[in-house]
A and B are shown apart, each in its own frame.
Chain A
């Protein structure tokens, strides 16, 4: 078969993509700019102003979660890359393994840890922490209120998406060319300077793809905030879900928010392609 004939093998999938990738996105755009009766409108976007609180909360929590993941993930990847090959193999397996347990179950498990009479509160009351606090401050607390706080939601995001930060950073650091580090040291750089001027800039593509892979699911989650936020910490994902399957049925508004979310992803991708050359392998693990 000739080369251009062989390319016909892709035709069925191209048709499939047109039907189930491109057409759905066109639907979202059409819905976002139309009313229930079919006319053109920008109302769906202006109406989003009512939800500024949810927008800012989503961005704030997702940014905090991403920062925490980076602060934990970068040192961990760096330390991991200095271990022996067998340790590294087992270590990476251990980091990926939790991803095979459904994230709803892992999140649910945190619910039972953070609950009013969950493990943490049980532990604190067993060691008499609450008695101590009550005695010192004259308060009357029996447990720490953790479920339903923004901290719990951030914890859930960090817990679920930390591997997405570690894997790309690790795969970049582990492939660093050692001769570059030796050259830097031979030329008189101390270890701080080597890190700042060589290792860190070279691991930037991994960082960028890690940041994207944590930020995008964090800003769009609805299950984590539902489970750990106790219904009081609505995020963008919850808002979209409500417009489609929840009580506030309004697919037009939901589409408009989904469109905004797509723009966020495009911006992330643009930043990544612009500043991080060769990040593809990192994304592929």
Chain B
């Protein structure tokens, strides 16, 4: 087996260098979150000052709140919608399914900036028409002798458009990870359940859902990651009043970045690292247990 041959010192050194390249900036980011001074180059001693500042900074806390809210909502909606959509796609004929799957993959393939710009154009155009309508027309009617007047609200880019954009780019990832699970599922299972008296909904709840659960979970995880990490699409669809964490960071880089941002990213990094370690340890344990069972 050629691929299992052990690596020499040079190969290992090369790997080490690449990892150094990948981690040096992140390491630096973390180190300088504990800096007493406000520079990200000159070390002035250890302090937790920036972590305290972080929790008192309303702008950053607000943007973290927006980021988490939009990511959680978009993930929840996209996961449910994507799961049903892939069950629907899977029941279709190829003639219908293939073109729809191509359209579905557009947001994944397109450059982020094109997705962002195209959604921005749509929102601005539709809102333009709506606002013109809202300015010129109002609903007037009289009821019990009193005259009521309903004015239509003006619409602008904001949290709503941000959420729509996030749902749109999340659903394809959910479908991409649920689809293969549906394909692997034994088709007779659903028929058998229904023959034994299940309604379709019961069959869905008790048979399909447990079978495709791993796909749904990984789809939701990918969607959440994509949402939290997204900058470009949010930048074009959130308008000027709403701001996600990534947008706040970008805004800061234009002037001066406060080390509070280092503190945020350190907290995020440590959380993700802890989650990954837990997941991996659990997986490794499960594998070991499975292997032990096999030898019993």
A, B: real partners = yes
Produce 1/0 per residue, A53-97, CB < 8 A to B: 000000000000000000010011001111100000111011101
Assess whether B168 is in contact with A16, with CB atoms less than 8 Å apart: yes
Q: Does B50 contact A (CB under 8 A)?
A: no
Assess whether B253 is in contact with A227, with CB atoms less than 8 Å apart: yes
In the complex with contacts A13-B81, A25-B106, A93-B276 CB distance below 8 A? yes
Assess whether B92 is in contact with A109, with CB atoms less than 8 Å apart: no
* Best-buried of A3, A7, A109, A220 by chain B (most CB within 10 Å): A109
Q: Does A196 contact B (CB under 8 A)?
A: no
Assess whether B40 is in contact with A100, with CB atoms less than 8 Å apart: no
CA distance A23 to B200 in the complex (A): 34
Which residues 104-122 of A have a CB within 8 angstroms of B? 104-106, 108-113, 115, 117-119, 122
CA distance A31 to B118 in the complex (A): 10
| A75 cross-chain contacts in B, Cβ below 8 A | 14
B271's nearest neighbour on chain A, judged by CB, is A100
Q: Among A94, A115, A251, point to the contact of B121 (Cβ < 8 A).
A: A251
Q: Among A20, A94, A100, A191, point to the contact of B272 (Cβ < 8 A).
A: A100
* Best-buried of B25, B91, B112, B124 by chain A (most CB within 10 Å): B25
| A261 cross-chain contacts in B, Cβ below 8 A | 111, 113-114
Interface hit among B53-61, B129-137, B148-156, B224-232:
B224-232
Q: Does B295 contact A (CB under 8 A)?
A: no
CB distance from B23 to the nearest CB of A (A): 7
Q: Does B250 contact A (CB under 8 A)?
A: yes
Q: Among A10, A101, A240, A284, point to the contact of B84 (Cβ < 8 A).
A: A10
Produce 1/0 per residue, B13-46, CB < 8 A to A: 0110011011111101100100000001100000
Q: Does B212 contact A (CB under 8 A)?
A: no
| A23 cross-chain contacts in B, Cβ below 8 A | 122
Q: Among A13, A219, A220, A237, point to the contact of B85 (Cβ < 8 A).
A: A13
In the complex with contacts A98-B23, A104-B246, A72-B18 CB distance below 8 A? yes
Q: Does B65 contact A (CB under 8 A)?
A: no
CB distance from B3 to the nearest CB of A (A): 5
CA distance A94 to B15 in the complex (A): 11
Interface hit among A40-48, A127-135, A139-147, A178-186:
A178-186
Produce 1/0 per residue, B104-127, CB < 8 A to A: 101101111111011111101100
Overall SS of chain B's interface: helix
Q: Does A12 contact B (CB under 8 A)?
A: yes
Interface hit among B68-76, B138-146, B261-269:
B261-269
CA distance A93 to B19 in the complex (A): 11
Q: Does A24 contact B (CB under 8 A)?
A: yes
Q: Among B106, B117, B200, point to the contact of A21 (Cβ < 8 A).
A: B106
Assess whether A6 is in contact with B111, with CB atoms less than 8 Å apart: no
In the complex with contacts A6-B91, A13-B81, A109-B28, A103-B231 CB distance below 8 A? yes
| A7 cross-chain contacts in B, Cβ below 8 A | 88-89, 91-92, 96
A212's nearest neighbour on chain B, judged by CB, is B109
CB distance from B159 to the nearest CB of A (A): 16
Per the CB 8 Å criterion, the residue count for chain A at the interface is 91
| B103 cross-chain contacts in A, Cβ below 8 A | 17, 21-22
CA distance A78 to B286 in the complex (A): 28
Assess whether A97 is in contact with B273, with CB atoms less than 8 Å apart: yes
CB distance from A116 to the nearest CB of B (A): 10
Q: Does A99 contact B (CB under 8 A)?
A: yes
Q: Does B176 contact A (CB under 8 A)?
A: yes
| B268 cross-chain contacts in A, Cβ below 8 A | 100-102
Assess whether B18 is in contact with A9, with CB atoms less than 8 Å apart: no
Assess whether A217 is in contact with B15, with CB atoms less than 8 Å apart: no
| A6 cross-chain contacts in B, Cβ below 8 A | 87-88, 91, 200
Assess whether A255 is in contact with B168, with CB atoms less than 8 Å apart: no
CB distance from A183 to the nearest CB of B (A): 12
| A111 cross-chain contacts in B, Cβ below 8 A | 253
A119's nearest neighbour on chain B, judged by CB, is B41
Q: Among B15, B21, B91, B249, point to the contact of A4 (Cβ < 8 A).
A: B91
Q: Among B32, B109, B114, B269, point to the contact of A100 (Cβ < 8 A).
A: B269
Assess whether A27 is in contact with B118, with CB atoms less than 8 Å apart: yes
Q: Does A168 contact B (CB under 8 A)?
A: no
Assess whether B100 is in contact with A14, with CB atoms less than 8 Å apart: yes
| A222 cross-chain contacts in B, Cβ below 8 A | 113, 232
Assess whether A105 is in contact with B29, with CB atoms less than 8 Å apart: yes
Task: Name 18 interchain pairs, CB-CB below 8 A, sorted by A.
Answer: A4-B91, A7-B91, A7-B92, A10-B86, A20-B119, A25-B118, A75-B14, A76-B14, A80-B15, A94-B19, A99-B229, A100-B268, A105-B249, A109-B25, A122-B41, A162-B18, A217-B111, A244-B120
Q: Which residues of B contact A (CB under 8 A)?
A: 1-7, 11, 14-15, 18-19, 21-26, 28-29, 32, 40-41, 81-82, 84-89, 91-92, 96, 100, 103-104, 106-107, 109-115, 117-122, 124-125, 164-165, 167-168, 171, 176-177, 200, 225, 229, 231-232, 235-236, 245-246, 249-250, 253, 257, 261-262, 265, 268-269, 272-273, 276, 280, 284
Given contacts A98-B23, A103-B231, 9 further A-B contacts (CB under 8 A): A8-B88, A82-B5, A95-B22, A102-B249, A105-B29, A178-B3, A220-B113, A240-B113, A241-B113
